[in-house]
Amino acid sequence: MEFGNKHPIARASLDHWMQVTAAASWATTAEIRAAFSKAKVLNAERVRFEIGGGDFRLICAFDFRRGVAFVKFLGTHAEYDRVDALTVSQF
């Protein structure tokens, strides 16, 4: 919510991501890619999503066994370029 308020252009895309992710019961990163074609699989648990037409990035770690998604990073494309996507833990 806070990020969407700060970056209104990302709000609709974030809302869509939240709705799809909350309703999903993914067991693999391939299933995530089927739902979000522009998602990039970073490793067995981390996926990068484009938000707001690619102006923003969201990195999420998934625990498929427990059905839990952990947001590890949410920021501008420029901020994303300055982090290590495989280890970042912003939240």
* CATH fold of the domain at 2-81: YaeB-like fold (3.30.2310)
pLDDT in tens, the chain (91 residues): 788 889 999 999 999 999 999 999 999 999 999 999 999 999 999 999 999 989 999 999 999 999 999 999 999 999 999 999 999 998 7
3-state secondary structure the chain: CHHHHHCHHHHHHHHHHHHHHHHCCCCCHHHHHHHCCCCEECCCCEEEEEEHHHCEEEEEEEECCCCEEEEEEEEEHHHHHCCCCCCCCCC
Q: What does the pLDDT read at residue 62? A: 97
Residues in the chain: 91
Q: What does the pLDDT read at residue 4? A: 83
Q: What does the pLDDT read at residue 90? A: 87
What is the residue extent of each domain of the chain?
Answer: 2-81
